[in-house]
Amino acid sequence: MGIRIIRKEGDEILKKKSKTVKEITPSILELLDDMQATLRSLDAVGIAAPQVGVLKRICIVEAEDELYELINPQIISHSGTQTSNEACLSVPGRSGNVERPLEITVTALNRDGEEYTIEADDFLTTVLCHELDHLDGVLFIEKATNIQEITNEELNARKQERRNRSRERGNRSRAYSRERGRLR
């Protein structure tokens, strides 16, 4: 597994629309592994292929103690709205408020080419919407209001808070999944 370099705002590739994955080849699997390693090395919650310079519709989200690998993800329904403060690996040092849906249903393929569905709400919805935007060449900063500088200290405090929240929610959603008999 290799750590890949994150493309930053100003890099033209981040403005381009990514292409649908037609076949899950060994190089796609390697990309998924590298994206996961890169995400974890940066202690982040989401990463999209264009951020590592690959214009393919792939992203990885790790939230609420679950790792989601999404190939050709699509939002098939959404409801409600929420506004939360976002940051991005490709836009270092800045954060801003973005309005997103509250609940979404996303379909995607996993690395075995099987379609699965995520019913997301709250924080997971925000992360998924943010990553899916990357696949259409959109950065959060283009949609954000109240853009502010964010220091590393603030970013670390936020990560800690997120870990605590993830643990709580992860426990809840695992219990829910078990109940529904669809624990991944």
Active site residues: 131
C-alpha 127/C-alpha 106 separation (Å) is 12
Distance of closest approach, residue 39 Cβ to Zn ion, in angstroms: 11
Distance of closest approach, residue 44 Cβ to Zn ion, in angstroms: 9
> Residue 47 interacts with Zn ion (CB under 5 A)?
no
Which CB sits closer to Zn ion, 68 or 173?
68
Distance of closest approach, residue 126 Cβ to Zn ion, in angstroms: 11
Give how far Cα 96 sits from Cα of 14, 25, 48, 78, 107, Å: 18, 37, 19, 22, 27
C-alpha 21/C-alpha 58 separation (Å) is 8
Confirm if 25 and 58 have CB atoms less than 8 A apart. no
Which CB sits closer to Zn ion, 88 or 135?
88
- Structural element, H or E, at residue 14: none
Distance of closest approach, residue 8 Cβ to Zn ion, in angstroms: 11
Which CB sits closer to Zn ion, 64 or 133?
133
> Residue 61 interacts with Zn ion (CB under 5 A)?
no
Q: For 102-120, b where at least 16 C-beta lie within 10 A, e where not — what string?
A: ebbebebbeeeeeeeebeb
Q: Stretches 18-26, 82-90, 115-123, 167-175: which one binds Zn ion (CB under 5 A)?
A: 82-90
Q: Stretches 84-92, 93-101, 105-113, 165-173: which one binds Zn ion (CB under 5 A)?
A: 84-92
Q: How far is CA 59 from the centre of its chain?
A: 6
Q: Which residues pair with 99 in a beta bridge?
A: 83
> Residue 88 interacts with Zn ion (CB under 5 A)?
yes
> Residue 70 interacts with Zn ion (CB under 5 A)?
no
Helix 122-135 and helix 152-180, axial crossing angle in degrees, nearest 10: 110
DSSP string, 116-137: EEEEEEHHHHHHHHHHHHHHTT
Residue nearest to Zn ion (CB): 88
Q: Stretches 2-10, 81-89, 106-114, 149-157: which one binds Zn ion (CB under 5 A)?
A: 81-89
Which CB sits closer to Zn ion, 60 or 173?
60
The contact set with Zn ion (CB under 5 A) reads 88
